[in-house]
Amino acid sequence: MLPAQHRRNESPSGLTKGMKCRILYLIGQLRRGGSEYQLYCLLKSIDRARYHPEVVVWNSCEADSYSYVDQIQALSVPLHFLPAGLSRFMKLRAFRRIVRQLKPEVVHSYSFYTNFAAWQATRGLNAIPIGSIRQDFVSERRMSGIILGRLSACLPITQISNSLAAQKTVEQTAGLFKPSHVHVIQNGIDIDGTRVYPLPQNSSSLLAIGRLDPEKRWDRLLRAIALLAARKVAFSVRLAGDGPLLKELQSQAKHLGLDGLVQFLGRRDDIPILLRESSFLIHTADAEGCPNVVMEAMVSGRAVVATDAGDVPCLVEDGKTGFVVRRGDDAMLVERMATLIIDHDLCSQMGEAGRVKAEREFGLHRFVEETLTAYREAGWRDS
């Protein structure tokens, strides 16, 4: 149960009276994550007086410092929480009631597994459903389950992907269970509020950020750390994030003799400070969309060494703003990390180039305008 101050609009019958909602967003949850951050950025930057956005949360979450509940409510954007304990079928019915009452012009699912719900809730109504592909398309279908994964893959027929890589996967996927139209809109990030600080002078502190899930391949990072340590170069690594593989990764680090070299920070919400204290970012995933952490590092003026998952090759200019390493080429990963540890000037130059690229391409104005354009191309009359 949510605390009393966050119970507003928790059930469909508790909808508030006000200006007509033109755009309704549906998201799986509001715990801090990549999709949730992007939705918050969109809501913060869109013309709220013109579009009157509202948000429905499929899975109720505790309102704490590690969710976006307070931040979204501070924008005066109404939040509606589907009651906890409902079956999936009951949630579908409850969400359709919300759509009927709010009468939005666009219903945009911001989580892949809620795509079908956005489509089902708009059937027979004058609302345009839009779906989302937030990561690798094949992984999204698999993680959503056999039936829901297939339904959410093809309905709505128009979906927004945050990566060119996912769009290419859709094009290469055989069969009916895929969207007819995919708009690629890379993530946006708040650049204006981020200062660039000089690199730490006395040592190389490497930073890795992300959920401790299998697709992030932090086991690959730990092996690279062990190989770097054998070269007698001076460095340390901090890994920020929590997840189901924590104990397994801690055990691997101990087995590799990495005590004192790698620090597991757990869940953190002070990423800008961690980046300020670090020399460069390491990202070792096998599956990605458009990773926020890579963009955040570049905005902070930090070089990036990352595998070629998702749209990383579009974000990081290999040899200019960092290094992009082919997945599976662990030897090259070690070489690229060693290069930036040893060459402080190169590391600094790449970070500066990354900031320039971020200012040119990652801004929120571009992100909002491309999103609204996708709605219009799907048939929305933005009057």
pLDDT at 1: 34
Structure confidence by residue, pLDDT tens digits, 25-75: 999 999 999 999 999 999 999 999 999 999 999 997 655 567 999 999 999
Structure confidence by residue, pLDDT tens digits, 218-243: 999 999 999 999 998 999 999 999 99
pTM of the model: 0.92
pLDDT at 62: 56
- The secondary element (H helix, E strand) that includes residue 106 is strand 106-109
Structure confidence by residue, pLDDT tens digits, 333-370: 999 999 999 999 999 999 999 999 999 999 999 999 99
All domains in the chain, ordered by first residue? 4-188+364-377 (3.40.50.2000), 205-361 (3.40.50.2000)
Q: In what order do the strands lie in the sheet with 280-283?
A: 262-266, 236-240, 205-209, 280-283, 303-307, 322-325
Q: Tell me how far apart the alpha carbons of residues 180 and 126 are, in angstroms, rounded to a whole number.
A: 20
Structure confidence by residue, pLDDT tens digits, 62-104: 555 679 999 999 999 999 999 989 999 999 999 999 999 999 9
Geometric angle at alpha carbon 144, from 43 and 266, rounded to 5°: 65
Structure confidence by residue, pLDDT tens digits, 288-320: 999 999 999 999 999 999 999 999 999 999 999
Is pLDDT larger for residue 91 or for residue 269?
Answer: 91
Mean per-residue pLDDT, 158-168: 97
6 band by pLDDT with thresholds 50, 70 and 90: very low
- Note whether 261 and 237 are within 8 A (CB): yes
- Note whether 364 and 43 are within 8 A (CB): no
Q: How far is CA 251 from the centre of its chain?
A: 28
**Around Cβ 369, how many Cβ atoms within 10 Å?**
15
- The secondary element (H helix, E strand) that includes residue 35 is helix 34-45
